[in-house]
Structures are given as structure tokens and as C-alpha cells.
Amino acid sequence: MDQTLLGGRYQVIRRLGSGGFSRTFLVNDVHLPNHPRCVIKQLKVQDKDTGTLDMARRLFDTEARVLYQLGSHPQIPALMAHFEEDQEFYLAQEYIEGSRLSRHVEEGKPWSETRVVLLLQEVLEILSFVHGQQVIHRDIKPSNLIRRHRDGKLVLIDFGAVKQVTSSPLLDAETGATNITVAIGTHGYMPNEQYAGKPRFSSDVYAVGILGIRALTGMYPQKIDEDPITSELAWRQYAPEVSSPLATVLDKMVRYDFRDRYPTAQEALAALQNLPNPLHGLVGTQIYRTWMKGTRGRGPTFPGDDTNTAMGPTETTEPTAFADDQDSTSLFPVDLDSSHSGVLAASPPVEPKRSMTPGLMSAFSKRHSWLLMLATGAVLGTLGLGLGLWRSGFTIGFQPALLSGNVLPFQRAEVPSPLIDFGLLLPAEEKAVYLSRQGDRLWSQGRYPDALATYNESVAAQSDYAPAYLGRCKTLISLKRPIEAIAACDDALAYSTYYPAALRSKGNAEEQQGKLLAALALYESTNRQMPAMFEAWLDRGRVLQKLGRSAEAIAAIDQAIARNRESAEAWTVRGEATWALNRYDQAIIASEKALQLDPDYAPAQDLRQRARETIGR
């Protein structure tokens, strides 16, 4: 195999992994300039009879369609090719240079709460897109998340176990249940309904919650017992200092009954975004050590780090039923380390934390009050040190409880409690990312002036950070300032040539000014760049309807509905378009569907009333 070109164009460099159903290889694409690297997944078909080959072909066709649909997202590997050769099946995917999250989540080394919240938000943001495409991943776990080196972002891999909800003839529209009869996933990250072969979107939410619990407790999920009465995971005893708001969110994510969980990643993400700012805290307490470089010091968390790390390939998971032994599956037997070609050793971990002993605290309590001023100065002087520690692999956590009791010679109320936002003390590139995420949170809460100010701070920290300009654009649209919004979107596109979200937002700004043809052209460009983006199809259909091109509007809206059937606006626009074509029965059906989704949606109420009056119902 290594002596030939796969598919006539892929030259094998080395094997990356091998499992019961597939093998993965790192290859060069000799048909493209500079022979870029990519990853080839080969399905191993043991039995070449017609039935087995047909099943293998169906599985790979399904995976290829899903990867093509989802690969337009910047944190999901793009599909390069999909081909069959000599009754073998191959997928060629984008190669991601980075390190798997499984290298960072070490047993017995719990993460800080801050770091867990930020991780969960990042994973749920990707998964929200996946669920928006009516896809259930079914195998969320640390080894299927890669921290990409070039920008520090997580990439979700391994879509071999996916299920497209809309492909099921026995789909339950309310729950997202499918007619799958084989349990696929990884033991410890699978909820009970997935074991039964009936995954929902909330099954992925469960897995993300387990990921958070594993990081927070430092324990593999298989080692956490269930409550014998409720069957809920009894994980809180292993993280006694977790805050109540975060614990409540995690509890809901991992409920035994899927009906008690957040139904999709979007709802879970919203709950996390409403938590108190995880980077705020009280000064003068405790530093929690969390080695952010992962196992044996590998894996940069921030862009710009010059730490040499192992390279994790983009591998796709085969359907693996009930994979045991922590979170491993047969697809991931290779653990790249410093002995591997092209990998350099990193610096060793830092020493464990040291805390103030009770004897020292007792001695301190006997000092005169003037020592409080000295102590306060010392605490403030350590902020720079604390930031440096956090930047190099520590997470700073503060425990107000340590200020209570008779350890210190004063009551908490007698001492100011300044809020220190360590995100504002980060180096410029990281500060820009942090502020932009804060702006996103404020924008989602409808706090547009605050969001705009935060995005402006992000731009001030790093003048070429495209997501901050996009945030400005969206916020200015919300503030009805379309001319300024267009300028902000143009800045985003100047710094990121491939940015479908910025194209779409610029179209929103043009539409807000009444420049419908300009908006339509931008929406069409967005559709070409990212066919999976539901919102751009909806925008396109809405503008086409405003232009009186109702037949074209219906075609565009049908594309939107195929990607998200739960949008009351999409159904209403379809109803308006069918109304304009005198298809009143269809208009009523569309309006009633919209009102099922949102009974208070006024445009749908008005449309249904007009249609009924016209046909005399």
C-alpha cells in the first residue's frame, strides 16, 4: 500500500492509527502545489461479500455527506475527497496539527473552575453548529478534541459515529429520537438512551457534561458511582469546592433522564454564558495549580506559544460500541510522544503548589494591625506574579471562604473586596480573544452598548483580530447603525479572507438600509462559502420575498428549513411566499407550523388570519 498512490494522488507518509474497522494514514497530496498533508481514513472490509460491501459503502457515504456538510465550520476538519478503490473505501480530510485534549486532562489533576467553564463553552459553541445541522455526534470525548497549534482553538474530530436526525423515517420531531438499534459511542460518555440505540441531541450534551466533570474532578467517568436511588452521578463529592451555579448546570447536562437535560448544545451554552464571570474573584486567598501544557508538558493553549508539542492527527472514529478502558477506543492506539519523528521534548511541569500553613497563619493573626497594610501591599504585588503563573500554566482561583473564621484578625466586611479581571492583564493577542468573547456574551444578553465598548477594547488590544470586528458589526446592526456596521464587517473581511459570518452580517447591514440587491448578493456569496449556514439561507429567502421573487424565495427557504426545521421565522417567510403565489392552503400550513414553534410570533398570527379570511375559513 505504501508503494502506490491512493486514489492516484495521495502518497503515504506513515500510518497514524489502526482499529477494528479502519486505518488512518498521514499522506501528501501530490496533485496540489507544495504537496500539502492530509489524513486518509481507510475502511477495513474483512468480508468482501456484496452485503458487507453495500453496508460499508453506505456508512462511508453517510460519513462523507456529513463531513462535507459540517466541514465548512472553521473548527471541524474539511473533507478533501471521498473515493472507492479496489473495494476499499477512503476519506481524505484536512490535517490538524495540534494535541488531543486527552493529553491535557490527567487523572488526579483536577482543573480549576475557570478553565472548565471556558472549555465547556468552546466545545458547546462547536456542537451548537453541529446540532443546528440536525446532526448528533455521539462520541464527544477528550481524544476527539484537538487543540490546534496555529491558533489555539479546539477542533472537533471523529464524525464516523454521527447520526443525521432528519434521515430517520421514525424521527420523533419533539425529542429528536431516531430508530438506531446499535449502541455507538464510548463507555462513560454515553447516556442510557444511547446505550439503547436511541440517541438524542441531549446525548451529546450529556457527553460534554461528563467531559466537564472529568476535568473538574480529575477522575475518569467510569470511576464515578451513581446514586443508588436516583441513578444520577454522585460526582460532587469529588469536587467539593465547585460553585453552586456551575454544579447546577453540570447536573442538568448529565441527568439520567434525557427529558431533564438541556435539549441541545445551544441551551446548555446559554446556561453557561449566564454564569458569573469565571475570571473574577477575591484577592488574597489561594492559587490552584493546573498545568495547562497537558501530559508531560505538551500542548499549547494559547497562540504564539513557542513550546514544542506533539502533533495529533485529524482522525475520524469508526462506529465503536461500548468502548471501555477510560475513554480510549480501538481507533486511538498510537500515543505520540517525544520519541516520535518530528516531536521535541518540552520543559517539565512546575513544582506542586505550596500553601500557607496553619502555624504561619496563626502567627500572622497575632501581629499588630499595621501588618494588614503590609499584607495588602504584598498581595497586590503578587498579582503580576499570579498572572505570569497563569500564563505559563497556572489557573488563578480565589476562595472567599478562606477569609472567614478566626484565622485572620478581621472580619470580611472590614476589608475591601476588589474584583480583579485577569483577562484584562493578558498579553495583547490573548486579551483580544478574551474581550471578544466577553463582547459575544454581552451581545447575546442584549447589552449592546456594553458589547460595543468591549469589542472596541478587543480591537485596541489587537488591531487585526477579525472576530472583534465582526462583533462590532453585529452590535452596530442591533443599534440600527448600518453604515458603521458595514465598515466594521469590511474590516473583518480584510483581516480574514474566508469569513462567511462577516459576509452574512454585512448583508444584514445592507438590508437594514433597504439595499436589497446588495444584501442578496452577499447572502448568495455566504451560501456558496458555507452552504450549511441556516441563517444565510433564511436571509436570502426573506430578501427575495421582499423583492417580489416569491418562487425563488420558497426555494431558498426550503434550503433553510432543511437545515433547521425549528425556526418560526423561516416557516412564516415560506407562508408569505406561498401567499403571494395564491397558494393559500400552503400559507395556512406554514403559519400553523410557525405558531406551533412560537405561539406568540405575531407575523405568523397575522399571516394565518389573512389567509383564513381570504379563503373563508
Residues whose CB falls within 8 Å of the CB of residue 304, separated by 6 or more in sequence, listed in order: 427, 429
Which cell goes with 536? 444565510
Query: Sign of torsion, CA 300 302 305 311?
Result: positive
Please state, in angstroms and rounded to a whole number, the distance separating the CA atoms of residues 199 and 431.
39
Please state, in angstroms and rounded to a whole number, the distance separating the CA atoms of residues 332 and 107.
18
Is 222 within 8 Å of 322 (Cβ atoms)?
no
Query: DSSP alpha helices (H): ranges in 133-227?
Result: 192-195, 201-217
Residues whose CB falls within 8 Å of the CB of residue 514, separated by 6 or more in sequence, listed in order: none
Residues whose CB falls within 8 Å of the CB of residue 340, separated by 6 or more in sequence, listed in order: 310
Which DSSP string do the residues of 261-297 spell out, in sequence order?
A: S-SSHHHHHHHHHTS--TT--BSSS--B---TT-GGG
Residues 88-117: b if buried by 16+ CB within 10 A, e if exposed? bbbbbbbbbebbbbbbbbbeeebbbbbbbb
Catalytic residue among 139, 327, 491, 539: 139
Is 466 within 8 Å of 505 (Cβ atoms)?
no
Q: How many CB atoms lie within 10 A of CB 352?
A: 7
Which cell goes with 617? 375559513
Please state, in angstroms and rounded to a whole number, the distance separating the CA atoms of residues 408 and 418.
18
Please state, in angstroms and rounded to a whole number, the distance separating the CA atoms of residues 297 and 294.
5
**Which contiguous run of DSSP H or E holds residue 12?**
strand 10-18
Q: Which of 151, 165, 160, 189 is closest to 75 using CA atoms? A: 151
Q: Does residue 342 come out as left (phi exceeding 0), alpha (psi in the -120 to 50 range) or beta?
A: left
Half-sphere exposure of 62 (CA within 13 A, CB side): 21
Q: How many CB atoms lie within 10 A of CB 528?
A: 11
In the chain, count of helices (H) and strands (E)?
Answer: 19, 11
Query: Sign of torsion, CA 239 293 327 94?
Result: positive
Q: What is the CA radius of gyration of the chain?
A: 27
Give the three-class secondary structure for 89: strand
Residues whose CB falls within 8 Å of the CB of residue 416, separated by 6 or more in sequence, listed in order: none
Q: Which amino acid is at 449?
A: P
Torsion, Cα 53 56 57 58, to 10 degrees, reads: 120
In the residue annotation, 257 being an active-site residue is answered as no
Q: How many CB atoms lie within 10 A of CB 49?
A: 8
**In what order do the strands lie in the sheet containing 98-100?**
98-100, 145-148, 154-156
Q: Which DSSP category does 332 fall into?
A: -
Which residue numbers are catalytic? Answer: 139
